[in-house]
Amino acid sequence: MLGKEKNKMAITKETVEDKIEVVGEHKRIQVRTATVIKEDGVEINRSFHRHFLNCCERHPDTGVWSDTDVSGESEEVQGIASTVWTDAVKTAFKEHIDANYPHVEPEEE
């Protein structure tokens, strides 16, 4: 086809953490991630995913507490966690969960 150029559209996908919040007395960290689709630099779609992190986790089988592993999170989330998740916050969270949701040993089959 002489004289005709094909219109090439550039479609891009970008994922960004667009909101990080610290919520409540136990300093739960909520992270909102936006997925942005652009066509020729113009945003045509945006969707959101949200996840949260507590300072500690209790193993469901053993009841043993461990600090939440944030190594897979962004440096910003890791920095916030190391700042707000003090020993006092962790202790208060564990006491709250243990008092309201006692660990029950799983039954053997």
What integer pLDDT is reported at residue 98 of this predicted model? 93
Q: For the whole model, what pTM was predicted?
A: 0.80
80 pLDDT exceeds 80? yes
95 pLDDT exceeds 80? yes
pLDDT tens-digit profile of 17-33? 999 999 999 999 999 99
Give dist(CA 5, CA 101) in Å, integer. 66
| Two tokens, residue 95 | 């006491």
1 pLDDT exceeds 70? no
Torsion angle, alpha carbons of 67, 72, 21, 24, to 10 = -20
Give dist(CA 48, CA 17) in Å, integer. 10
| Two tokens, residue 106 | 């799983």
pLDDT tens-digit profile of 42-68? 999 999 999 999 999 999 889 999 999
